[in-house]
Amino acid sequence: GQNIDQPTEMTATEGAIVQINCTYQTSGFNGLFWYQQHAGEAPTFLSYNVLDGLEEKGRFSSFLSRSKGYSYLLLKELQMKDSASYLCAVRLNRDDKIIFGKGTRLHILP
Amino acid sequence: DAGITQSPRHKVTETGTPVTLRCHQTENHRYMYWYRQDPGHGLRLIHYSYGVKDTDKGEVSDGYSVSRSKTEDFLLTLESATSSQTSVYFCAISDGTAYEQYFGPGTRLTVT
């Protein structure tokens, strides 16, 4: 079976930094996505990692270690609008089958 | 924003009735997906398509069927709806090269 684990909830303070971890054990691996989803809305793409290392995009960075089956999303200079769920997803194969973890609900405190 | 729409956006139906949800895209993307999202379960893949008439099962395909007769449309059918199929259904598309999936706005389905 496929297993993608992330913490259910996290809380952080406005202006701070938070790291959301994701571990995966899947039958295949062809890349890892991070998505943001605000309540009542559709998920929106944040980042994609296929090779090991850190990808930086503004306030958000994503890291991947394929040998450890591990990724994290780093959010800097937190803003109230960052309160949302963050979804980790794995592309299993070249036919683009993509499955998701259960998501991490991030609460930002003023 | 990617051109992807879902219809209907909201539906209430009774147990045992057939229901069809439609996903329509204007991006000419090869891959299309149906997910359901429930509290405590996250997004779960129901079925996906890797081309016209080419589909495969996801994690939770029991009770669902799909069809894709043309690139732009991907239909999800519940042959006989059950209360356990009450959920928010998202369609998504990707072209397999841009490394992004774009999601539709979702359909909230309630089975009474």
Dump pLDDT digits (tens) for B47-62. 999 999 999 999 899 9
Beta bridge partners of B12: B110
Q: Are A42 and B42 within 8 A, CB to CB? A: no
> Pick from B31, B43, B102: which is nearest to A100 by CB?
B43
Quick check: A38 contacting B, CB < 8 Å? no
Q: Counting one residue from A and one from B, how many pairs have CB atoms under 8 Å apart?
A: 57
- Which regions of chain B are under pLDDT 50? none
Quick check: B58 contacting A, CB < 8 Å? yes
Q: B63 is written with which tokens?
A: 């009770």
Q: A68 is written with which tokens?
A: 């450890």
> Pick from B43, B50, B90: which is nearest to A96 by CB?
B50
Quick check: A57 contacting B, CB < 8 Å? no
Look at residue A89 in the predicted model and tell me its pLDDT: 94
Q: Are B45 and A98 within 8 A, CB to CB? A: yes
Amino acid at A77: E
Beta-strand pair A32-37/B64-70: unpaired
Q: For the residues of A6-73, what is the DSSP string, one character each? A: --SEEEEETT--EEEEEEEE-S--S-EEEEEE-TTS--EEEEEE-SSEEEEETTEEEEEETTTTEEEE
* pLDDT tens per residue across span A52-72: 999 999 999 999 999 999 999
Nearest CA in chain B to A102: B42
Cα-Cα end-to-end distance for chain B = 34
pLDDT tens for chain A, 110 residues long, are 789 999 999 999 999 999 999 999 998 899 999 999 999 999 999 999 999 999 999 999 999 999 999 999 999 999 999 999 999 999 987 667 888 999 999 999 99
3-state secondary structure of A80: helix
Look at residue B1 in the predicted model and tell me its pLDDT: 60
Quick check: B42 contacting A, CB < 8 Å? yes
